[in-house]
A and B are shown apart, each in its own frame.
Chain A
Amino acid sequence: MLTVDLEKCIGCGECEDACSFGAIEVKEDKAVVDLDKCTMCGTCVDTCPEGALELDKQESEASGINPDEWRGVWVTAEYRFGQTAPVTFELLGKGRELANELSVPLTAVLIGSGVRQHAQELVERGADRVLVVDHPELEQFRDDVFARIVSGLARREKPEIILAGATAMGRSYIPQVATMLETGLTADCTELEVRKEDRALLQTRPAFGGNLLATIVCPNHRPQMSTVRPHVLKALEPDASRQGEIVEITPTDEELSSRLKIVESVMEKAEGPGLADSDIVVAAGRGMESEKNMALIHELAELLEAGVGASRAVTDAEWLPHRAQIGQTGVTVSPKLYMGFGISGAIQHVVGIQGADMIVAVNKDPEAPIFDLATYGIVGDVKTILPLLIKKIKKERGV
């Protein structure tokens, strides 16, 4: 619980300002904590100039786990519909970096049917070792089976870190793995780093709708587990000369037993690259004003062979389908060029475009936060700028 040392408190109000939950109020020159509102996030403790606030962390459960017994970095590979998902290679890129920092091997866990042949590719992308669980009954993704296999392997081998893709599949079974292991899991990390002195994994993710970045640690439990969205991390180029150990693991009958029956798996989206893979993204915001004006966005996108994205306001208004939403609760993009039209730059949206090489923003409001992260900004009306831009690009192209 959060306590205030009344001797030390000078009633300056720094903590009141710092609290995102309105849980602290200075009354009669002393900070008073509303325990019903306090979530014990600890932000206030660091801001107090007098060191008067203390978060009693001694209550933290002694997990009975000795972190020193847990070594190694793992990546759970995602293999579905006959393909290794690109997020697997991205995770291996980051996993390689973390493993080097910690001087431990990087292990990939590959589960599926007929997946043995894809193990070497994981080595080429950075793994030192691949645990292959290849069985006909693993053709389909069943949460309970996958969770039991990964948690069983983790109990035996004791890795200190497990990274997984924040995909529909990862977000479904990885929380089950973490619960089976009774350890912490941080969702949708945008940054992962090792703190050398205590080997802690610093897991940074957007919090409070992306208005803050929170760095999460998992000090007393192992493994430390994180999921990361596709397109947030960079994969290594495949290196065919890399050597690694491939270990085949036979799942037990108990592990393979399931209460789920997959009647059918249907792949729908085989056509072309999606929004997330586009080199150029043209995005529309509330400032487009009406559905009618969206024709301009589509025309520009077609001209540039760009993907069309949007802020939440636009997809909520159904000017574009929900899958076009870019941001924390939508798609993450990392194109060569992102152009935002009438997008104000709410952090919810902005966290989804940080990987763009160049950001162009057009907005009427010179104070729009999107300009803070724009490479090039134009203050102007999208209804004027877009037609001009389309005309001039056509002229450049000689269309």
Chain B
Amino acid sequence: MKIAVCIKQVPDASTVRFDKEKGTLVREGVESVINPFDYNAIEAGLALKDQVGGEVSVLTMGPPQAQDAIREAISLGVDNGIVVSDRAFAGADTLATTYTLAKAINKLGAFDLVICGKQAVDGDTAQVGPGLAVRLGIPCVTCVDDLEVLEDGRKLRLKRMCEQGYDIVEVELPALITVLASLNIPRVPSLKGKMRAKKADIPMLSAEDIGAETSKVGLAGSPTQVATTTVPTFDAKREMLEGEPEEQVDALIGKLKEAGIL
């Protein structure tokens, strides 16, 4: 089975701090990591390869330093990886991103399965996976919690979660799936994997390399634009209940009674 896993490098949430006065993120000391859900996507690819054989490629769109993410994926066991990187890609919304990724995937060849994480934790849109499936002209199953290979790898049986329960979905390959964290437990890099990652050659492909039209990538190819950004403010009463714990709790009980809750 030929598998492509799409990953994204995101700021490590545990190192991001926010400057309330300025209304900006403090980027100093912020590390970039692989989007947490993408580890599950990588693991899903590797597990399928372990089961039925094949090849797992990983790709990402991002700045040159996104090579680090690919290197980490290689240390986990994927066969190869590329970074699609070009200044023309800056400012891409999800529509431009799906165009770029689809161009890159088509450049790499034919895949039986494309796997994405459920969503990236920096944007939380969950839009790139389903959009990419349309660009590639293949069916899409999101929120996969369990998967089983049927008919020697020509078909997958998937458990797709939703608020009310789940569906069991069968799809013929090629297809795209987005996976939940509950699907698997990602493996850790092996020593051999780490050595291989160190030496791995990670190609960087530009817009021209993947044959992308510049009007369809980055800001130019993005229908949505950020009009304004604001720091959220809250219009709250902010009444502090003072005193000893007994008094504080008594005051709260009083307020809850007043509001008709108790």
Asked if A328 CB lies within 8 Å of chain B CBs, one says yes
Report whether A216 and B226 are in contact in the complex, using a CB–CB cutoff of 8 Å.
Answer: yes
> Which residues of chain A are within 8 angstroms of B163 by Cβ–Cβ distance?
167-168, 269
Report whether B167 and A176 are in contact in the complex, using a CB–CB cutoff of 8 Å.
Answer: no
Chain B residue with the shortest CB-CB distance to A217? B227
Asked if A243 CB lies within 8 Å of chain B CBs, one says no
- Provide the bound-state CA to CA distance between A188 and B127, in Å: 11
Among B44-52, B190-198, B200-208, B231-239, the stretch that binds chain A is: B231-239
Given the contacts A211-B25, A259-B172, A379-B240, A171 and B134 also touching, CB distance less than 8 Å: no
Asked if A234 CB lies within 8 Å of chain B CBs, one says no
Given the contacts A217-B227, A267-B165, A168 and B236 also touching, CB distance less than 8 Å: no
Chain A contact-residue range equals 35 or more
Report whether A188 and B167 are in contact in the complex, using a CB–CB cutoff of 8 Å.
Answer: no
Given the contacts A172-B142, A217-B227, A35 and B90 also touching, CB distance less than 8 Å: yes
- Provide the bound-state CA to CA distance between A1 and B90, in Å: 8
Given the contacts A18-B24, A259-B171, A167 and B162 also touching, CB distance less than 8 Å: yes
- Provide the bound-state CA to CA distance between A141 and B134, in Å: 17
Chain B residue with the shortest CB-CB distance to A212? B229
A-B contact count (CB 8 A): 292
Report whether B219 and A371 are in contact in the complex, using a CB–CB cutoff of 8 Å.
Answer: no
Given the contacts A143-B139, A396-B262, A20 and B249 also touching, CB distance less than 8 Å: no
A18, A35, A169: the one within 8 Å of B162 (CB): A169
B20, B130, B239, B250: the one within 8 Å of A375 (CB): B239
**Interface residues as binary, A191-217 with B (CB distance below 8 Å gives 1, 0 otherwise):** 000000000001000111111111111
Report whether A268 and B166 are in contact in the complex, using a CB–CB cutoff of 8 Å.
Answer: yes
Chain A residue with the shortest CB-CB distance to B10? A209
Asked if A12 CB lies within 8 Å of chain B CBs, one says no
Report whether A378 and B226 are in contact in the complex, using a CB–CB cutoff of 8 Å.
Answer: no
Report whether B25 and A266 are in contact in the complex, using a CB–CB cutoff of 8 Å.
Answer: no
Asked if B147 CB lies within 8 Å of chain A CBs, one says no
Report whether A337 and B261 are in contact in the complex, using a CB–CB cutoff of 8 Å.
Answer: yes
Report whether A59 and B232 are in contact in the complex, using a CB–CB cutoff of 8 Å.
Answer: no
* Shortest Cβ gap from B97 to chain A (Å): 11
Report whether B238 and A61 are in contact in the complex, using a CB–CB cutoff of 8 Å.
Answer: no
> Which residues of chain B are within 8 angstroms of A385 by Cβ–Cβ distance?
245, 248-249
- Provide the bound-state CA to CA distance between A188 and B123, in Å: 10
Among residues 356 to 376 in chain A, which have CB atoms less than 8 Å away from a CB atom of chain B?
358-360, 369, 371-376
- Provide the bound-state CA to CA distance between A140 and B167, in Å: 9
Chain B contact-residue range equals 35 or more
Asked if B131 CB lies within 8 Å of chain A CBs, one says yes
- Provide the bound-state CA to CA distance between A60 and B216, in Å: 9
Chain A residue with the shortest CB-CB distance to B224? A184
> Which residues of chain B are within 8 angstroms of A178 by Cβ–Cβ distance?
95, 127, 131
Interface of chain A, helix or strand or loop or mixed?
A: mixed
Report whether A392 and B261 are in contact in the complex, using a CB–CB cutoff of 8 Å.
Answer: no
A210, A216, A336, A347: the one within 8 Å of B261 (CB): A336
Among B53-61, B73-81, B104-112, B252-260, the stretch that binds chain A is: B252-260
Chain B residue with the shortest CB-CB distance to A221? B223
> Which residues of chain A are within 8 angstroms of B27 by Cβ–Cβ distance?
20-22
Given the contacts A337-B259, A389-B249, A187 and B124 also touching, CB distance less than 8 Å: yes
Among A36-44, A96-104, A282-290, the stretch that binds chain B is: A36-44
Asked if B149 CB lies within 8 Å of chain A CBs, one says no
Chain A residue with the shortest CB-CB distance to B143? A168
Interface of chain B, helix or strand or loop or mixed?
A: mixed
Asked if B241 CB lies within 8 Å of chain A CBs, one says yes
* Shortest Cβ gap from B235 to chain A (Å): 8
> Which residues of chain A are within 8 angstroms of B234 by Cβ–Cβ distance?
350, 354, 372-373
Asked if B152 CB lies within 8 Å of chain A CBs, one says no
Asked if B91 CB lies within 8 Å of chain A CBs, one says yes
- Provide the bound-state CA to CA distance between A193 and B112, in Å: 43
- Provide the bound-state CA to CA distance between A207 and B222, in Å: 17
- Provide the bound-state CA to CA distance between A201 and B256, in Å: 39
> Which residues of chain A are within 8 angstroms of B135 by Cβ–Cβ distance?
179
* Shortest Cβ gap from A179 to chain B (Å): 4
Given the contacts A259-B172, A263-B169, A143 and B91 also touching, CB distance less than 8 Å: no
Asked if A218 CB lies within 8 Å of chain B CBs, one says yes
> Which residues of chain B are within 8 angstroms of A59 by Cβ–Cβ distance?
215, 219-220
Apart from the given pairs A215-B230, A337-B259, 11 other A-B contacts in the complex at a CB distance below 8 Å: A20-B24, A57-B219, A144-B139, A168-B162, A175-B127, A187-B127, A206-B232, A265-B166, A266-B168, A374-B236, A397-B262
List 22 A-B residue pairs with CB atoms under 8 Å apart, sorted by A's residue number: A57-B225, A60-B225, A81-B165, A168-B163, A172-B130, A185-B127, A188-B124, A209-B121, A213-B229, A220-B223, A259-B171, A263-B169, A265-B168, A266-B165, A280-B261, A371-B238, A372-B236, A375-B237, A376-B251, A377-B241, A378-B240, A389-B252
Chain A residues engaging chain B, CB cutoff 8 angstroms: 1, 17-22, 35-43, 46, 57, 59-61, 63, 80-81, 140-141, 143-144, 147, 167-169, 171-173, 175-176, 178-180, 182-188, 202, 206-221, 258-269, 280, 304, 328-329, 336-337, 347, 350-351, 354, 358-360, 369, 371-381, 384-385, 388-389, 392-393, 396-397
Chain B residues engaging chain A, CB cutoff 8 angstroms: 13, 16, 18, 20, 22-25, 27-28, 63-64, 87, 90-91, 93-95, 98, 119, 121-131, 133-135, 138-143, 157, 160-172, 175, 215-216, 218-232, 234, 236-241, 245-246, 248-253, 255-257, 259, 261-262
Nearest 6 pairs between A and B by C-beta?
A: A184-B223, A40-B91, A184-B224, A373-B234, A168-B162, A22-B27
